Amino acid sequence: MTTSVASVQVKTSARKQKLWAWVVFVVGALYFLLPLAATFYWSLRAEKDKLGFEAYRRLFADVNFLPAFSESIVNALAAILLSLLLIVPTAYWVTLRLPKLRPVVEFITLLPFVIPAVVLVFGLIRLYSRPPLLLTATYDSSRVVLICVYAALSFPYVFRSVDNGLRAMDVRALTEAAQSLGANWFTILFRVIFPNLRVALLSGALLTFAIVIGELTIALFMAQHTLGPYMANLTRSKVYEPSAMAIVAFALTWMALGLIQLVGRGQQGQITGGH
């Protein structure tokens, strides 16, 4: 008798719980989808009395859009490459030889979370805008600094995914096997470790791409003509194009993170980007 009463109680409370879960989910979904829907709606209204993709056409036809976009892509790719070349050997070395240094490395890779981007760029300008380290004198040298900073910003994400990847394989056994076959360090890193980290590298790279591609703060104050400052300028000067741009940016982020899910099923290890 008592057990059936109890089980009925459990059942109704489970049903109530499920109802609340739905309420929370639907309200949450509304909050998150509404701005996207509104922006999408605006982006279709560039032509009078008619819904269409005119805003997108105008955006892509803008003489400044494609140069800014391609410059951002090149910057992102360069930053990713630099970051991988720095982090993979470091993480490998720390795992294999210097486990004592792990906390130090972890601390350094967490620094981008501690130093706000706007503070970082402030310091950069002061440090590199006068002799002996005059690096912000020309556009191209500033660009190199920007790429280096982006690489540094990606450390937390790349280090984490590489570290996860290294933990998932037996680094020591692989190294020893390669060594006993006569491989040197260079061969081990580039022909054994890198290929085995493919998934980890790819997800770290994609995450970096998502963060760096539209970065505003640092590019803005270093006077770079990349996508972030371009978008900020667009938002203030045009009516319909910004909505098309926001949708394109969202689609880009979605693509990058969707690809991560696809290549690294079940792998976790990210926090957040710069705002």
Partner 1 sequence: MFLIGPTLILGYRSLEGTDGALTLDNYRQLTSESVLSAYGMSIRISLTTAILGGLIGFLIAWAVSIGGLPRPFRSLTTTFSGVASNFAGVPLAAAYIFTLGRVGVVTALFKLLGVDLYRSGFSLYSFLGLTLVYLYFQIPLMVLVILPALDGLKREWREAAENLGATPNQYWRDIAFPVLTPSILGTMILLFGNAFGAHATAYALTGGLFNLATLLIGQQISGDVLHNPGLGYAVAMGMVVIMALSILVYSILQRRSERWLR
**Which of these, 111, 150, 114, 149, lies nearest to 128 by C-alpha position?**
149
What is the x/- site pattern for partner 1, positions 12-41, by CB under 8 A? -xx--xx-xxx-xx--x--xx-xxxxxx-x
Binding of partner 1 by 81 (CB under 8 A): no
The footprint of partner 1 on residues 144-173 (CB under 8 A) is: 145, 148-149, 151-152
- For residue 196, give every residue at least 6 positions away whose Cβ sits within 8 Å of its Cβ, in sequence order, or none: 165, 169, 174
- What span, in angstroms and rounded, lies between the C-alpha atoms of 51 and 106? 51
Q: Which residue has the tokens 């501690």?
A: 114
Q: Which is nearer to partner 1, 20 or 185 (CB)?
A: 20
Q: Please pick, from the candidates 104, 118, 137, 177, the single residue that binds partner 1 as defined by CB under 8 A.
A: 118
The piece of 65-73, 87-95, 104-112, 194-202 that touches partner 1 (CB under 8 A) is 104-112
Minimum distance from residue 124 beta carbon to partner 1 (Å): 5
The footprint of partner 1 on residues 189-208 (CB under 8 A) is: 207
Q: Please pick, from the candidates 127, 134, 177, 181, the single residue that binds partner 1 as defined by CB under 8 A.
A: 127
- DSSP secondary structure letters along 92-116: HHHHHT-GGGHHHHHHHHHHHHHS-
Q: Which is nearer to partner 1, 179 or 235 (CB)?
A: 235
Q: Are 145 and 222 in contact (CB under 8 A)?
A: yes
